[in-house]
Structures are given as structure tokens and as C-alpha cells.
């Protein structure tokens, strides 16, 4: 591949992968079975990302393993209703076209573990998108490093990665112990989002082992936890004793080593994080945003229950983001139409902080996602209130 015998696009991708391996002192390359790409998000990669994809496309590069695509910068079928600027939408469309021409699968979601190309425990893969990396490493137990824009597509083109970091068993050992046994845990995604945000702040770039999480915890709680831990910290992997597959007990999670430090969490610490995630009062919001990461089928069915006999207030907005797989599934049984009738706007393929929404003139928004609460002020200039789903609905629904 390096000699260009498999085409110029593959040669360029392999040069980049070899350089990455050299930077990390890797001794060899290992095969991977699949890739999840984040570089398809125009709002994140901009003109440079567009040129890079165009170059690979022009050089004839093709992905070598099943490759899914992250959220894109527009709802592909519905971007006008979403208020996206036409010029911006065109750039996004071009970027989408290049990734599809290289053979990637149009999943268009930041929660690829809910639908699409899902690995098994222990599988060597290369995923980008911070929440997805944490979830797939921790909850599924597949193995990926924190790949990012540009390297992700190169991994897909050569079907190999340097053998470094979290691909190697010893590097997956827990480093710090987080004790939740004194918390009164609540089974909601916003509670686990706050918990994840707090653990990310403490862990920074270390691997936390969390004890005291009960068995009723759901995949959607761990999704919210994964997105939050990767927003406040540079975390790519956590272990939860008795919950995640590499942590049947403390000894296994730490691979027989001693924790570098132990942190006991309190209710007060969680309250402090919750307070920090909001920049204004609840009453002032223009609308509520849910579905970061993209909403799952159970989350949308829960919303249907909560919306029984209610509708969105005339002067407020309720926006939900999901994948096209979930959207079309729930179109078939009438759920999407039912929510639309109640004034809920449902967008697929994309995300509030990664598109262009100038026409709406929003000033303040509300969300039950810690990741949205973290990024909305810096990425959109809007103020944000972080609250539970119940409180979001209380505010925008009558
Ligand atoms: Fe997905 Fe956007 Fe959140 S890409 S994880 S909905 S910030």
C-alpha cells in the first residue's frame, strides 16, 4: 500500500497511518473489522475537511472494511424546514457525497451503537466521535483508540491501525476508583449525564473504575454517561463494576494493580455540576432540545407517553434529534406523525450544534443532555439551561 500498488488514495492513507504509528511508538499495524467516521461533519471539519475528502475521492480511495458515518451538518431530506443556510447545505452535501463515493454507509448518526455496524466484545475497530468511542470501548468492550477527523477515513481505507493505546490489553486497566456507593442514584438519563460529567472532570485523561452502580442501569443511561464523561474529560474508556464487560469485579477492572487514587462522590458534588451546566434561568428559554446523542427507540417511546394529552406551546419549540434508522422505523408505526401533530419537530441525520440555524433567532435553549449543555454556549453563542426531561417538558409543553 505504501508503494502505491493499490492506488494513490490508499498510498496517501497508509502514509498517514504509518506516521500516526511512529508518533505513538507502535511496533506494528493490526487489522480492524470496522470504522466509524466523524470527518463527514462539515460544521466540524470545514473547508479543510472538504478538500481532504475530495482529494481522497479524486485519488480513487475506497474503504476496505464496513464503515459507518457520523451525524452530518443537515437533515438530508428536511434541511430547509430546519432553517439551514442553502450555501452551507450545499457544502455539507458535497462532503457527504465524497464519503459515500468512498464506500461508507449512510448511517448519519452519532449513536452508531444503536443501529448500524455494531462490533462484539473484544473486536479491534477504529471509531471516531467521542461519545461513541467511550460507549463502544466501555459498554460493548470492543477496542478503539480516540480516532479523529482525517485519521478515521485513513483507517477505513487501509483496514489497519497502529497497535497502540486502547487496542492493547494492558493499557485498558483502570487507573482511579470512583466510589458511588453513598449516592442515591436515580434512573434517568439526565442523572447519569450529570454523574458522567462529574466523573470526566475528576478523571481527566485517566481510566476510571466506577463502583456502586445498580443493575437497573439502562443502555440509554450509559449513553448519556458516555457523552458527558467525554465532554468534561479526555476519557475514552471507563469500567463499571458488575455492569461493563471488562469489570466483573474490582481486581479484574484494575488488572490486579492498585488504583492511583480513590474519589468518593457525594450528592453535593452532583448538585454543583448540575448548577454549572446551566447559564440562565429556566423560564427564559425559547425551546427545548433532546436527542444528544441521537435518541433511541425507547427514549422516543417514553416521550410519546409523556406527551399524552399535551402539545408544544405556541410560543415554544421542542426539537428532537435522532438517526434515520430510528426515524424511519418509528415512521412505519405512526409514532413520528403522532409527535409531529403535537408540535414536536423531529430531525434526523444531524445535530443542533453542528448545523446552521441563524433564521430561528434563538437566544436561550433548554436540554436534558450534558453534552449539549457543555457545547451549546461555545458552538452557538446561545445560553443554555440543563434540566431533566420532565422539567424541559414542563417548560415548553401545555
Ligand atoms: Fe450527536 Fe451532536 Fe450530541 S453529533 S453527540 S447530537 S453534540
Q: How many helices (H) and strands (E) does the chain have?
A: 14, 14
The predicted model gives 102-113 an average pLDDT of 98
Among the atoms of ligand 1, which is closest to the Cα of residue 293?
5
Q: What are phi and psi of 346, to 5 degrees?
A: -115, 125
Res 71 pLDDT > 90: yes
- Of 216, 237, 215, the C-alpha closest to 225 is 237
pLDDT of residue 135: 98
pLDDT of residue 239: 98
Give residue-wise pLDDT tens across range 229-257: 999 999 999 999 999 999 999 999 999 99
Residue 88: CB partners within 8 Å, gap ≥ 6? 42, 73, 74, 355, 356
* Beta carbons within 10 angstroms of residue 205's beta carbon: 11
pLDDT of residue 270: 98
Q: Whose CA is nearest to atom 2 of ligand 1?
A: 351
Give residue-wise pLDDT tens across range 15-55: 999 999 999 999 999 999 999 999 999 999 999 999 999 99
Give residue-wise pLDDT tens across range 203-222: 999 999 999 999 999 999 99
Q: DSSP secondary-structure letter at 364?
A: E
pLDDT of residue 284: 86
Average pLDDT over all residues of the chain: 97
Whole-number Å distance, alpha carbon 369 to ligand 1 midpoint, is: 9
pLDDT of residue 371: 98
Q: Whose CA is nearest to atom 3 of ligand 1?
A: 292
pLDDT of residue 235: 98
Give residue-wise pLDDT tens across range 109-161: 999 999 989 999 999 999 999 999 999 999 999 999 999 999 999 999 999 99
Q: Whose CA is nearest to atom 5 of ligand 1?
A: 293
- How far apart (Å, rounded) are the C-alpha atoms in residues 336 and 344? 9
pLDDT of residue 5: 97
List the grid coordinates of 343: 408540535
Confidence of residue 358 (pLDDT cuts 50, 70, 90): confident
Whole-number Å distance, alpha carbon 287 to ligand 1 midpoint, is: 17
pLDDT of residue 338: 98
Ligand 1 is surrounded, with C-beta below 6 A, by: 71, 110, 131, 227, 292-294, 321, 351, 353-354, 371, 375
- How far apart (Å, rounded) are the C-alpha atoms in residues 271 and 254? 29
- Of 266, 199, 258, the C-alpha closest to 232 is 199
Say what percent of the chain tops pLDDT 90.
Answer: 96
- How far apart (Å, rounded) are the C-alpha atoms in residues 178 and 253? 12
The predicted model gives 307-318 an average pLDDT of 97
Among the atoms of ligand 1, which is closest to the Cα of residue 369?
3
pLDDT of residue 359: 85
Confidence of residue 227 (pLDDT cuts 50, 70, 90): very high
pLDDT of residue 283: 73
Whole-number Å distance, alpha carbon 392 to ligand 1 midpoint, is: 18
Q: What are phi and psi of 68, to 5 degrees?
A: -95, 160
Amino acid at each position: 500500500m505504501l508503494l502505491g500498488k493499490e492506488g494513490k488514495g490508499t498510498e496517501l492513507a497508509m502514509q498517514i497511518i504509518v506516521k500516526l504509528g511512529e508518533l505513538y511508538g507502535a511496533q506494528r499495524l493490526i487489522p480492524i473489522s470496522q470504522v466509524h467516521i466523524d470527518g463527514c461533519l462539515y460544521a466540524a471539519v470545514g473547508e479543510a475537511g472538504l478538500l481532504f475528502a475530495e482529494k481522497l475521492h479524486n485519488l480513487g480511495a475506497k474503504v476496505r472494511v464496513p464503515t459507518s458515518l457520523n451525524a452530518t451538518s443537515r437533515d438530508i431530506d428536511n434541511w430547509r424546514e430546519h432553517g439551514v443556510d442553502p450555501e452551507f447545505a450545499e457544502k455539507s452535501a458535497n462532503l457527504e457525497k465524497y464519503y459515500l463515493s468512498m464506500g461508507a454507509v449512510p448511517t448519519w448518526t452519532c449513536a452508531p451503537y444503536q443501529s448500524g455496524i455494531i462490533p462484539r466484545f473484544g473486536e479491534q475497530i477504529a471509531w471516531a466521535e467521542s461519545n461513541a468511542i467511550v460507549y463502544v470501548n466501555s459498554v460493548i468492550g470492543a477496542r478503539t483508540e480516540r480516532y479523529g477527523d482525517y485519521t478515521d477515513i485513513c483507517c477505513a481505507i487501509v483496514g489497519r491501525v497502529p497497535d497502540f493505546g486502547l487496542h492493547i490489553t494492558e493499557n485498558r486497566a483502570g487507573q482511579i476508583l470512583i466510589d458511588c456507593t453513598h449516592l442515591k442514584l436515580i434512573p434517568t438519563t439526565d442523572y447519569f449525564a450529570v454523574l458522567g460529567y462529574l466523573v470526566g472532570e475528576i478523571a481527566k485523561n485517566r481510566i476510571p473504575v466506577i463502583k456502586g452502580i445498580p443493575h437497573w442501569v439502562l443502555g440509554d443511561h450509559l449513553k448519556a454517561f458516555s457523552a458527558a464523561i467525554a465532554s468534561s474529560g479526555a476519557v475514552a474508556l471507563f469500567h463499571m463494576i458488575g455492569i461493563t464487560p471488562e469489570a466483573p469485579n474490582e481486581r479484574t477492572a484494575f488488572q490486579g494493580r492498585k488504583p492511583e487514587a480513590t474519589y468518593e462522590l457525594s450528592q453535593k458534588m452532583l448538585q454543583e455540576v448540575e448548577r454549572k451546566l446551566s447559564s440562565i434561568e429556566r423560564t427564559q428559554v425559547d425551546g427545548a432540545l433532546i436527542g444528544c446523542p441521537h435518541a433511541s427507540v425507547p427514549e422516543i417511546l417514553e416521550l410519546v407517553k409523556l406527551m399524552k394529552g399535551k402539545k408544544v406551546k405556541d410560543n415554544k419549540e421542542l426539537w428532537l434529534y435522532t438517526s434515520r434508522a430510528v426515524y424511519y422505523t418509528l415512521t412505519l408505526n405512526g409514532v413520528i406523525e403522532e409527535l409531529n401533530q403535537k408540535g414536536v419537530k423531529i430531525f434526523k441525520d444531524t445535530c443542533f450544534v453542528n448545523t446552521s440555524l441563524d433564521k430561528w433567532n434563538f437566544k436561550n435553549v433548554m436540554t436534558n443532555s450534558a453534552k449539549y449543555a457543555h457545547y451549546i454556549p461555545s458552538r452557538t453563542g446561545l445560553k443554555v439551561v440543563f434540566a431533566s426531561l420532565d422539567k424541559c417538558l414542563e417548560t415548553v409543553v401545555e
